[in-house]
Amino acid sequence: MTSKAIVFKTLSYFLLILLTVIIIIPVLWAFTASIKEDAEFYGSPWALPQGVYLQNFADAWLKANMGDYMFNSVLVTALSIALLLVIALPAAYVLARYRFRGSVLWNTMFMAGLFINVNYIIVPIFLMLNNGDKVARSMFGQPFLLNNIFILALVYTAMALPFTVYLLSGYFKSLSKEYEEAASVDGAGYFRTMVQVIMPMARPAIITIILFNFLSFWNEYIISMTLLTKPEYKTLPVGLMNLLAAQKSAVEYGQLYAGLVIVMLPTLLIYILVQKKLTQGMTMGGLKG
């Protein structure tokens, strides 16, 4: 190994270690702060906790309603990912593997959707749903578009659909046609081929889009705050911001950091569970030409 290669390798390891430290220190500090009593924050904020004060989590879960907010976040995230997979997987497969009248137009529309930031059109979406609620109120006696978890899940799904279809289409295009030809010889139809042959091979790509979209849906704030105005429907990011605003006067820092840990923990656990799948090759077995 040449001296230049040694220097490059050493520098690369140094930068990776530095990046790891920059990421880990705030996370560890949030976890340690969440088990401190409030009086400990008036000394050195960097000091280790004197004990394990789990009452912070109970207060955040019950008094600050983080439990209700978590239930809402779990529900809307699960609904959004389920809807996204049901719509995006068949759409990406058909657009990637078949040519038909209008396929170029559909591909172009999904590509154009990549350049639309939903945060910039949230006001028109809100006005559209609000006007729809006015019609629903006059026809059915009550609105149902705003403050509706399912409607929020639909908006999340539409937001993530262009990128998800684009990513999956790129993967499906890389697969050999021999897979479908072999399935056709065995008597499998289009739907059976997609479900039993193509989908298992796409498992790494599917796990990747689930993780990316989970992070996006779980941490989303602006759309949730706009479309869910009633306190009982708020999601975790909105609830955490409300907790942060409340703690400015209450000065209950332990409860605040406990709420922050409650928001972070599911993301960390899911990443730990699927990290091996993310590093796997995008194809799993297959035919050799």
**pLDDT string in tens for the chain (289-residue length):** 677 788 888 898 899 899 888 888 888 888 888 888 877 877 776 778 888 888 888 888 888 788 899 999 999 999 999 999 999 999 999 888 888 888 888 888 888 888 888 878 899 999 999 999 999 888 888 888 999 999 999 999 999 999 999 888 888 888 877 877 788 887 878 788 888 888 888 888 888 888 889 989 998 989 999 999 888 899 988 888 877 776 665 567 788 888 888 888 888 888 777 776 666 544 443 433 4
The pLDDT of residue 277: 66
Q: Count the neighbouring beta carbons within 10 Å of the beta carbon of residue 115.
A: 7
CB of 228 closer than 8 Å to CB of 235: yes
* CA–CA distance, 80 with 43 (Å, rounded to integer): 44
Q: Output the pLDDT for position 281.
A: 43
Please tell me the predicted confidence (pLDDT) of residue 161.
93
Angle (CA) 135 159 133, round 5°? 10
Q: Which two tokens stand for residue 253?
A: 């820092």
Q: Which of 96, 93, 288 is nearest to 200 (CA)?
A: 93
Write the single-letter amino acid at 54: L
Q: What pLDDT was estimated at residue 251?
A: 65
Residue for token digits 């559909």? 106
CA distance 259 to 270: 18
Confirm if 235 and 224 have CB atoms less than 8 A apart: yes
The pLDDT value recorded for residue 150 is: 94
d(CA 240, CA 40): 22
